[in-house]
Structure 1
Amino acid sequence: MKLKPLKENKNIFIDERGKLYTKNLVPGKVVYEEKLVKYNNEEYREWITNRSKLAAAIKKNIGEVPINKGDKILYLGIASGTTASHISDIIDKNGIIFGVDVSSRILRDLVPILYDRSNIIGILADADKPWEYLHIVTKVDLIYQDVAQPHQVKIFIRNIEYYLKNKGYGFLAVKARSIDVSKDPREIFKEVRRELEDYGLKIIKEVRLEPYHIDHAMFLVQNK
């Protein structure tokens, strides 16, 4: 098996079958039963598309993946750390992820990952109240949000106001059924686009995440 870096991000890799990988920051350790492979004396973790909305977005040609070594990331809705662990691989030991989640039970599941990965900080807080973690979180290069709330766009924008650098990026994973189960997801995604543009964000790309995640879309935006 051969791996080659993606042209959109040289720290994400792809094999001949189109499967995605990141170089394992903690060799020998898995996070969610993903496959480990060796290539050129380095260990890589398979990035499973139906377990990670960011991996699905990459497979659906979101294009640019503006996550780099040394970046500071605010991750809203970090949950058990599946996607965050791959971002952790990409940003390497000099980067940092501020991982926010409102559920203490879910954060307990994250604790073993925090022991292994010193570049992730778990924060028990409500992403709807970004002022609550001002004493921990600095200005960041990118905000990644995966939060199942009806007002998830407002949460995203509120955190951008507090934490995103000028010209910084954001990934917003939109769960249409969490916003309004009675509406056509296509209409919801149009409304989300309008809301982001009305705030003044530049929308770089929007992709639907089917077949990996039904009624989901990913928006890649940039702070003007």
Structure 2
Amino acid sequence: MSDGLPDGVERRPFDGRERLATRGSPVYGEPTDGDWRAWDASRSKLGAMLSRGLDTGLTGGEPVLYLGAAAGTTVSHVADFAGPTYAVEFAPRPTRDLLDAAAPRSNLFPLLKDAREPASYAHVVEPVDAIVQDVATRGQAEVALRNRRFLADDGRLLLAVKARSEDVVADPGDVFERVLEDLRSGYEVLATERLTPTHEDHLAVVATPRTE
């Protein structure tokens, strides 16, 4: 791991500027340079976390559970450098695009499931070293708490809290505090950072399971 990035993720020049990149088949029209493809941090909360230098704990090669995979923009990059990558998405339409992203990636496993109901995929998902969560729903802390069962004791939760999904009218700062308070019942929060301006009203959270 160099520059705080997992093995398999590099900063490389695209279109005259340095950007994150992974090796893999392109998914969303991103620029490519040989086997490398640019990771657009403006379309990826995890990409934004890595671009900002947050210590995510990701090293490369580890098993990952991704909650809220959508059409595969970010989770395809994760699968490029991680080990087995379980991609949970609730909506059928983006899942069809997710299947296309998974086709050239033998380690990417799309699951048409509800992240609020981890029992529905517990028979498929092995223990993981990281959970990446990017779900647009109320109760985002509860989703993280319910999926804690899959996370290794020294693993990392990488959560992008969407304030407007919790409460469309409340001040985002107040929303973030409430979510963090709920999250601390099962996790130790290691770091937080707002993702403005690339992702308005989003808070990046790095946490690890509480073991006491």
Q: TM-score, normalised by structure 2?
A: 0.91
Identify the residue that residue 158 of structure 1 maps to in structure 2.
146
* Correspondent of 1:90 among 64, 81, 84: 81
Equivalent residue in structure 2 for 1:34, among 30, 40, 43: 30
Aligned residues: 207
Q: 1:58 to 1:7 in 2, by over 3 A?
A: closer
Q: Gaps (5+ residues) in structure 1?
A: none
- Residue aligning to 1:71: 62
Are the equivalent residues in 2 in contact too, given 1:67–1:90 (CA < 8 A)?
A: no
Return the letter of the residue paired with 1:48.
Answer: D
Q: Gaps (5+ residues) in structure 2?
A: none
CA spacing shift, 1:190–1:135, aligned 2, 3 Å: same
8 Å Cα contact 2:188-2:209 kept in structure 1: yes
Q: Distance in 1 between matches of 2:5 and 2:71?
A: 26
Match of 2:89 in 1: 101
Evaluate the alpha carbon distance shift between residue 72 and residue 128 of structure 1 in structure 2; reply closer, same or farther with a 3 A threshold: same
Checking the alignment, whether the CA contact within 8 Å between 1:140 and 1:168 is kept in structure 2 is yes
1:10 CA displacement: 4.0
Contact 1:61–1:207 (CA<8 Å) still a contact in 2? no
Partner SS state of residue 65, structure 1: coil
**Cα drift, residue 211 of structure 1:** 0.9
Q: How does 1:176-187 map to 2 (within 5 A)?
A: 176-187=163-174
1:56 is aligned to 48
Give the counterpart of 1:9 among 6, 15, 19: 6
Aligned mate of 1:167, from 146, 149, 154 = 154
Secondary structure of the corresponding residue to residue 31 of structure 1: coil
Cα distance between partner residues in 2 of 1:151 and 1:219: 15
Mapped partners of 2:107, 2:124: distance in 1: 14
Identity %: 36
Q: Equivalents in 2 of 1:139, 1:10: separation in Å? A: 21
Tell me the C-alpha RMSD between the 2 structures. 1.7
Residue in structure 2 matching 1:188, options 153, 175, 196 = 175
